[in-house]
């Protein structure tokens, strides 16, 4: 039996299949775009933001703080202690696990609007938007408590340890992002030296 306007059932079936194929292609393209976006913004191993995207976010927060008198942004520079020793003694797979666990602890410990990103190697940055130094240090205690909880679970042959340093930025500061991170890094090394991790 002929179809409407010269189309038969075979044409209808072909059209349906073409539409399904189109939907599948669109869905596949969307998945690829999502995947590329993820790899562009996130550190593949740890699942936190990567250096490029993290620094971009930090720049945005700093510019906001620079123009808003009462808005503060605090940055924490975090270094995973003894990663090289873990790699040398237990292998790089264990070292990678250490970085992943530390990343998970950081994500678990911070607030919803805080930003964690991996600067590179064993170094991480936490951005605390609209947060004073005093408030940020309260969150640091939560990080330490959660690390201690992991250590008490005896899941690893080694003890998880980090050192951290803070720097607060406000509208009155003229610091660049590089200077801000450098100051937080310097404060981190002060803590590391005080705790005799070097």
The CATH architecture assigned to 51-194 reads 2-Layer Sandwich (3.30)
CA distances from 146 to 18, 43, 102, 131 (A): 54, 22, 10, 21
- In the sheet with 115-120, reading across from the earlier edge strand, the strands are 115-120, 123-129, 73-80, 162-169
Q: Strands of 103-161 (E only): list them.
A: 115-120, 123-129
CA distances from 191 to 19, 38, 185 (A): 62, 34, 10
Q: In the prediction, which pLDDT does 79 show? A: 97
CB atoms within 10 A of CB 102: 25
Cα–Cα distance measured from residue 90 to residue 83, given in angstroms and rounded to the nearest whole number: 10
Q: In the prediction, which pLDDT does 197 show? A: 46
Per-residue pLDDT of the chain (198 residues; tens, 9 = 90+): 445 555 566 777 777 777 778 777 777 767 667 666 767 899 999 999 999 999 999 999 888 877 776 778 899 999 999 999 999 999 999 999 999 999 999 999 999 999 999 999 999 999 999 999 999 999 999 999 999 999 999 888 889 999 999 999 876 666 788 888 999 999 999 988 887 644
């Amino acid at each position: 039996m002929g179809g409407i306007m010269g189309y038969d059932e075979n044409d209808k079936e072909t059209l349906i299949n073409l539409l399904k194929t189109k939907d599948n292609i669109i869905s596949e393209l969307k998945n690829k775009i999502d995947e590329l976006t993820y790899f562009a913004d996130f550190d593949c191993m740890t699942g936190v933001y990567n250096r490029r995207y993290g620094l971009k976010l930090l720049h945005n927060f700093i510019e906001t703080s620079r123009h808003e008198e009462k808005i503060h942004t605090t940055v924490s520079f975090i270094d995973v202690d003894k990663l090289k020793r873990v790699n040398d003694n237990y292998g790089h797979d264990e070292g990678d696990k250490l970085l992943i666990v530390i990343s998970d602890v950081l994500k678990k410990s911070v607030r919803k609007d805080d930003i964690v990103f991996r600067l590179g190697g064993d170094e991480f940055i936490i951005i605390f938007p609209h947060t004073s130094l005093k408030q940020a240090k309260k969150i640091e205690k939560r990080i330490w408590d959660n690390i201690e909880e992991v250590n008490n679970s005896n899941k690893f042959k080694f003890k998880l340890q980090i050192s951290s340093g803070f720097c607060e930025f406000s509208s009155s500061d003229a610091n660049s992002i590089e200077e801000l991170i450098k100051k937080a890094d310097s404060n981190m090394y002060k803590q590391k030296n005080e705790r005799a991790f070097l």
